[in-house]
Structure 1
Amino acid sequence: MSDITIIPGPDTSRAYRMALGCFGTGVTVVTTATDEGPLAMTANSFASVSLDPAMVLWCAAKHSKRYQAFVSAQDYSIHILAEDQMDLALHFSRIGTDFSPTSWQPDSAGVPILRGCIARFDCRQTALHDAGDHTIIVGLVQRVMRRPGTGLLHKSGQYGGFSGFDQQG
């Protein structure tokens, strides 16, 4: 099979997405509190920014109906999903206001905290950066929760896990 080279653009968006799909990512659900109640969004655009101070980022799609609530949120939590939480990832990718499929409770700021995740980063928004059809949301990490477990991964349009590795440290 020979290499395929493309120039990203409207006519090559499918090929571009397929190339991006070659990179496996972890799956997160980001939650926040709004005047209308709890809100969630599935995201795989999550990364560490800084260890000192502790900062992370994630990206929100501008076309999402939940976009404005998340770029306006001062406090939010990023939940790293466990391998057995694929249904939760799919649910919150479609519906952000229905928390009935999961066990959760609000933290002191009212932000929904989901149970069963392998890690959680409770954040305070510190910066927004325009990035094409997304906005990069940078947060100062206020608290971290983690437990042993295998994370949910997304690659080439599929969900799965990475067996044989369970970080205990």
Structure 2
Amino acid sequence: MSQQTPAAEDFPRNFRNALGMFATGITVVTMRTPAGDPIGLTVNSFNSVSLDPPLIVWSLSNDLPSRALFEASEYYAINVLAADQEAVSQRFASRQGDRFAGLGFDHGLGGAPLLDGCVARFECRNKVRHPGGDHVLFIGEVERFDRNPGDPLIYFGGAYRHLTP
């Protein structure tokens, strides 16, 4: 039997749990700061918007200190993590240390880091930003991309998951 919409005090946690029933891939969004430093963060709010023109969307919490840097950047990259990159996801979800230390990456448009080992990478021009409640929505125009064989890292029900044959 399904649960009904909870009381107001239970709503935020239960809403988040219900959203967790939608499986998502895991990405790391990367860019260069005006000082040239690479920054990145783990994001699972990524989706396609349009094929013509090629547009993607992702969102970022208003509370994150890097929000203004991402809003001001001309380019960023969406790195779709492979099934064996759970540690990379955790590293970029953390707020500690140099997240790029010891990682292999190429330099994309605007210097945006393109992480090695990903199943797909999208180099995007930062086209549109919209307020969206406690997040800002980024719509990027994909200028270049690549795709590699392998399975993606999946997030479902509050945990990392892997595809099974």
- Equivalent in the alignment of 2:21: 22
**Partners in 2 of 1:140 and 1:18 — Cα distance?**
31
Structure 2 unaligned blocks of 5 or more = none
Paired AA for residue 137 in structure 1: F
Query: Which residue identity lines up with residue 51 of structure 1 in the other structure?
Result: L
Moved over 3 A (4+): 7-11
Q: In 2 relative to 1, CA 101–22 (structure 1 residues): closer, same or farther, beyond 3 Å?
A: farther
- Supply the distance in 2 between the matched residues of 1:9 and 1:63 (Cα, whole angstroms): 23
Q: Which residue pairs with 2:139 in the alignment?
A: 138
Q: Percent identity between the aligned chains?
A: 36
Deviation at 1:8, TM superposition (A): 7.9
Deviation of residue 64 (structure 1)?
1.3
In structure 2, the partner of 1:76 is 76
Match status 1:111 vs 2:112: yes
Q: Residues 47-72 of structure 1: CA distance to partner in whole angstroms, max 9, x if unpaired?
A: 10000111101111111122111122
Please list every run of 5 or more consecutive structure 1 residues that lacks an aligned counterpart in the other structure: 165-169
Offset of residue 35 of structure 1: 2.7
Compared CA separation, residues 150 and 8, structure 1 to 2 (3 A): farther
RMSD after superposition: 1.6
Q: Distance in 1 between matches of 2:65 and 2:158?
A: 22
In 1, distance between residues paired with 2:9 and 2:147? 41
Structure 1 match to 2:90: 90
| 1:120–1:144 contact (8 Å) kept in structure 2 | yes
Amino acid at match of 2:11: T
Normalising by structure 1, we get a TM-score of: 0.90
Deviation at 1:77, TM superposition (A): 0.3
* Partner SS state of residue 17, structure 2: helix
User: Following superposition of structure 1 onto structure 2, how do residues 1-169 of structure 1 map, counting pairs within 5 Å?
Assistant: 2-6=1-5, 9=8, 11-36=10-35, 37-95=37-95, 97-164=98-165
